[in-house]
Amino acid sequence: MALDKQSKIYVAGHHGLVGSAIWKNLEGRGYRNLVGRTHSELDLTDQLAVRKFFDEERPDAVVLAAAFVGGIMANSLYRADFIMQNMKIQCNVLSESYAHGVKKLLFLGSTCIYPKNAPQPMREDALLTSPLEYTNEEYAIAKIAGLKMCESYNLQYGTNYIAVMPTNLYGPNDNFHLENSHVMPAMMRKIYLAKLIHDGNWQAISRDMSKRPVEGVNGDRTQDEILDVLAKYGISDNKVVLWGTGKPLREFLWSEDMADASVHVLLNVDFKDIIGIEKYSSVFYGAATDGAVDRDNSCGRGGAIPSLGEIRNCHINVGTGKELTIRELASLVAKAVGFGGTIVFDSSKPDGTPRKLIDVSKLHSLGWTHKVEIDEGVKLLFDWYKESIAK
Helices 326-337 and 374-390, packing angle to 10 deg:
50
316 Cβ contact partners less than 8 Å away, ≥ 6 residues apart? 124, 162, 163, 164, 165, 265, 269, 274, 362, 363, 366
Burial 209-246 (b: 16+ CB within 10 A, else e): bebbbbeebebebeeeebbebbeebbbbeebbbbbbbb
Is 245 in contact with 343 (CB distance < 8 Å)? no
255: closest CA among 350, 352, 368, 174? 174
260 Cβ contact partners less than 8 Å away, ≥ 6 residues apart? 25, 368, 371
| Cα angle 81, 84, 88; round to 5 | 130
Q: Note if the bond before 121 is cis, omega within 30 degrees.
A: yes
Choose the catalytic residue: 139, 153, 233, 385: 139
Angstrom distance (rounded) from CA 170 to CA 16: 11
Q: How far is CA 330 from the centre of its chain?
A: 21
Q: Determine the residue type at 269.
A: V
Task: Kindly give the pairing relationship between strand 324-325 and strand 249-250.
Answer: antiparallel
Bridge partners (DSSP) of residue 346 are 243
Angstrom distance (rounded) from CA 225 to CA 214: 11
Angstrom distance (rounded) from CA 325 to CA 246: 7
**Cβ atoms within 10 Å, residue 303:** 10
Is 244 in contact with 187 (CB distance < 8 Å)? no
Q: Is 139 a catalytic residue?
A: yes
The residues carrying an active-site annotation are 139
